Amino acid sequence: MANVRKRIERLERSLTPERNADPFEEMKRLALQSISTEDLLVLLDMVEQDKRENEWTERESAAAKALTVAFEQEVLRAGRQSLPGACPAR
């Protein structure tokens, strides 16, 4: 359980807003904040294991999709059109 707590604390630190943050980074931060803790943990495992998209499980694909949808919502909320190739999950 301590391992999960440390991982969540690391995620929370990475989500702390920075002054004068670049809008793209701010949209990624807000998208990460809007998805479930379970999805965050799955995504963190994927990054730590350096998994390529063709190696993803169904659950990992769902977590990546959740992040992509959340990011797209933040892009639209920021008044921008979709950013091609800017998927934060990859």
- What pLDDT digit, counting tens, does each position of 1-11 carry? 677 777 777 77
Q: Cβ(36)–Cβ(8) under 8 Å?
A: no
Instruction: Give the C-alpha separation, 77 to 30, whole Å.
Output: 11
Q: Cβ(11)–Cβ(40) under 8 Å?
A: yes
Helix/strand number for the chain, H first, E second: 4, 0
> In the prediction, which pLDDT does 81 show?
62
Domain coordinates in residue numbering, the chain: 23-90
Q: What integer is the mean pLDDT of 79-83?
A: 64
Number of Cβ atoms within 10 Å of the Cβ of 15 = 13
**pTM of the full structure:** 0.66
